[in-house]
Structure 1
Amino acid sequence: MGISIWQLLIVLLIVVIVFGSKRLRNVGSDLGSAFRGFKKEMNSDNEENNEQLEQKREQSDADFTETEREQKKK
């Protein structure tokens, strides 16, 4: 009940005839650049989140050491 290779080739041939190979190339390159842009933004978001977490971690470490100093003074 699956799609055979021949059915896929016929569909591909119809698509090429309807749209033309030049337009399909343009669509492919546009789609590729969209994926690259999406991947780039996801990586930059992860880097920003990691930087924010690191800053929070450093702040909490600084607060903790300040608390230790106050307790030692008492």
Structure 2
Amino acid sequence: MGGFSGWHWIIVALVVVLVFGTKKLGNIGGDVASAIKSFRKGLQDDDSHPPSQLKADPEPVAKPATSDVKRDNVP
């Protein structure tokens, strides 16, 4: 009583096809497949470059704050 048998899965699949239709399910499958492909390509691109060759963005240099107030001890 705890698990699904083969007949249960067939009935679930038929209900899903009836609700969504075969065309929409095909589109969803294609979208998922292209997402997986681009994810794998991204992983391969990251692995192909050793960390020493990756260029990091330089940190922005903070500009000194200027004020209009004149100080007595500053020449």
What's the TM-score bracket when you normalise by the shorter of the two chains? Answer: 0.5 to 0.7
Structure having the higher Rg: 2
1:39 matches 2:40: yes
Higher helix share: 1
1:17 paired residue number: 18
Which runs of no fewer than 5 residues in structure 2 stay unpaired?
Answer: 54-75
- Give the fraction of aligned pairs with identical amino acids, expressed as a percent: 42
Task: Extract unaligned runs of 5+ from structure 1.
Answer: 56-74
Deviation at 1:23, TM superposition (A): 0.2
Counterpart of 1:15, as a letter, is V
Runs of 4+ in 1 over 2 A off after TM superposition: none
Length-normalised TM-score, structure 1: 0.65
TM-score (norm. length: structure 2) = 0.64
**Can you list the C-alpha shifts for 1:7-61, whole angstroms capped at 9, x where unaligned?**
000000000000000000000010000000000000001112x2x34x5xxxxxx
How many correspondences in the alignment? 52
C-alpha RMSD of the superposition: 1.2
